[in-house]
Chain A
Amino acid sequence: MASLKVVTISLLLGSLLGSPAFAQSPTYGVGRTPTAEELRRMDISIGPTGEELPPGRGTAKEGAQVYVQKACIGCHGAAGIGGLAPILQSKQGADVPVWKKERILPLRAPHATIVWDFINRGMPVGLEGTLTPDEVYSLTAYLLFLNKVIPEDLVLDKQSLPKVRMPIGDEFGKPHHFKLNAPRLEGYPY
């Protein structure tokens, strides 16, 4: 009984004084806890490991059909060339280094997961969020195939997509460790 009282008092003191030991307990108690199902539906951020990817699968051949069915062709042109929207297939030869090629997402992206993420969150224009996971896997496969990143018969799914080796490899700038109240670039006076 006495020890319970001590605990209660120290809890109270902790929250009042903001003691580090109790800093992790809620202070205001406002808002609600989202359900696991709500979070699953809402969480469309796909990181480089692909852990958030949903089940599903697709190949370039299937993607070529989805590309026509979903009218991607209307804005991006046949096979990603000749439309009003950004081009999706490089016009450059295979021997041209990736940084000298066009800035095309399914070509220059360091992780294939970004291609999946962007199609899923942002396409097609005006009908965002209506593609099924299979359709997004298929379209991703088709665009990667068009840019000679993967073979036509590779099945993309939660396991294989994060493992796709992108042409850029490791040849891109990495975000530096941000420091507060420090110059943008160490040794750079401007």
Chain B
Amino acid sequence: MDSKRNSRRELLKAGAALAGGITLGTGGKAQAQHDHPMTPGSENASPMIHGSKEQIEYGQRSKYVTSVRVQHPIGGRPSPDVFGKVFHVATPLQDSVGVITPSSLHYIATTRGSFLPDIDPKQHTLTIHGLVDRPLTLTMDELKRFPSVTRLHFIECAGNRHNGKQKTVQDTHGMTSCSEWTGVLLSTLLKECGLKGSAKWFVAEGAEEVKGASSIPIEKAMDDCIIAYGMNGEPLRPQQGFPVRIMVPGFEGIYHTKFLRRIKLVDRFYMNYNEFGHLRPEDKELALGEQIGPKSVITYPSGTQRLPGPGFYEISGLAWSGGGAVKTVEVSTDGGKKWNRAEFKNTPQRMAHVRFAYPWKWDGTETAILSRCTDEIGQRQAMREEIANWWKVPFERDYRVPGLDNSVMPWKIARDGSVTNGLA
């Protein structure tokens, strides 16, 4: 009798809450206010999230999951800046599991700081011209009629460099992300256009206000470039180039032109403004600035995290290479003296993140943990000292790796379990 009356009271309370326009979260509170003993185990352990139209139509993450992107420390430009432009924003790798970066947390980078174009896909076209027999203009609907591919690929910004000043793995390595991309192979489209033998490079150009353009070798175009319209099971997000971008697997991020509107086949290297940024005095350094080298980083435990005490931990991290699939990852738990083979949590794929792990029993003493990887074409991730030795330059604390920085990242573990940047 009592309990019946109480339920009725609860219902009335909930009704009043709804009538008062109180929505998500607070409705749950009303339910939790039981003022009578219940059968042990029958009570709800948590408040309830009341269904709303928005919740049902488009899912939200739990309010207890608060992981967000942050401004990348290198470059020093805020996003958004005073004008509302976006520059470099890093993904929270410390919270990542598996290999897919949620689209909403994918890192962002723009050519020179850019507004996000708000493109109506019905108005957008992609044109292929230059050294082809038949120039071609495609609407987005027409593009989707071609045979498609779906592949896992990472993208990494050339600015993804680690140094001793950074605190978290988001600061040191957050300018890389990995997604499942769907689109049409560029080779399919170039064959459709009749590629001329004189075409040696192509220029891929975006539709944002600066119309960022990059020159890419034709060998890459015919191998694995994808004109992508899908990302992680849905259309590309605007921050990743909606409605269409080019994927240039394994090449640094800037080549993956977003808001793609034009591909021009040319007979020589076209130095665009983007390439001006790549300009270096030496051929050798330039060569290390196009394709991403073999690279890995431990994401747990990583900078600013804290191990609660000695005992078992699964060290976990990500490895990738622009040269192909990752072949092996090794982990050291003694500052780099002994290297142990890590296990893979997913099958390594070409130019994609792979999740690695190594089981570890921490004895509570001070140490450093590191990871390194080798890719399928035999390139191995090196310590900074090794790279300096190869270049025959003295190794100093703030040594800058030539080209893209794919050197080993150490994390220091103190006796109180706190994890800090091993380069500091």
Contacts and interface: CB of A to CB of B under 8 A. Distances in A.
Interface stretch (B226-234, B275-283, B357-365): B275-283
Interface string A3-31: 00000000000000000000111111011
A39 B273 contact: no
B276 A188 contact: no
Interface string B379-418: 1111000110010000000000001001000000000000
B210 A39 contact: no
Interface string A110-147: 11001001100110011010000000000000000000
A141 to B, nearest CB: 19
Given A190-B379, A190-B380, A173 B134 contact: no
Nearest to B271: A114
Contact of A188 (B139, B193, B213, B288): B288
Q: Chain A contact residues: over half helix, strand or loop, or mixed?
A: loop
B226 to A, nearest CB: 16
Q: How large is the interface on A (under 10, 10 to 19, 20 to 34, 35 or more residues)?
A: 35 or more
A33 B134 contact: yes
Q: Which of B211, B262, B382, B386 has the most CB of A within 10 A?
A: B211
B191 A23 contact: yes
Interface in B11-30: none
A122 B136 contact: no
Nearest to A174: B283
Contacts of A176: 283, 286-287
Given A128-B209, A178-B219, A184-B403, A47 B268 contact: yes
Given A31-B137, A111-B271, A122-B211, A105 B276 contact: yes
Interface residues of B, number: 68
Contact of A121 (B193, B211, B322): B211
Contact of A185 (B269, B276, B280, B284): B284
B145 A45 contact: no
Q: Which of B270, B288, B378, B380 has the most CB of A within 10 A?
A: B270
B266 interface: yes
Contact of B378 (A39, A172, A183): A183
A169 to B, nearest CB: 12
Given A108-B279, A190-B390, A45 B293 contact: no
A108 B83 CA distance: 28
A114 B276 contact: yes
A43 to B, nearest CB: 7
A147 to B, nearest CB: 15
Contact of A43 (B133, B138, B264, B294): B264
Interface string B200-236: 0001010001110101010110010000000000000
A184 B219 contact: no
A117 B272 contact: yes
Q: Which of A114, A172, A189, A190 has the most CB of B within 10 A?
A: A190
Interface of A: 23-28, 30-34, 38-39, 42-45, 47-48, 99, 105, 108-111, 114, 117-118, 121-122, 125-126, 128, 171-185, 188-190
Contacts of A121: 210-211, 213, 273
Nearest to B382: A190
B49 interface: no
A122 B270 contact: no
Contacts of A172: 279-281
B273 A114 contact: yes
B142 interface: yes
B406 A190 contact: yes
Contacts of A122: 112, 209-211, 273
A181 B323 contact: yes
Contacts of B191: 23, 27
Contact of A190 (B205, B264, B280, B294): B294
A183 B264 CA distance: 27
A117 B219 contact: no
A48 B271 CA distance: 7
Contacts of A108: 276, 279
Nearest to B273: A118
Given A33-B137, A122-B112, A172-B280, A48 B268 contact: yes
A45 B288 contact: no
Nearest to B139: A31
Given A24-B133, A32-B137, A122-B112, A39 B127 contact: yes
A176 to B, nearest CB: 5
B208 to A, nearest CB: 9
Contacts of B390: 188-190
Contact of B220 (A99, A117, A178, A183): A178
Given A31-B142, A184-B323, A175 B210 contact: no
Contact of B387 (A118, A126, A180, A190): A190
A30 B270 contact: no
Given A173-B284, A185-B284, A34 B135 contact: yes
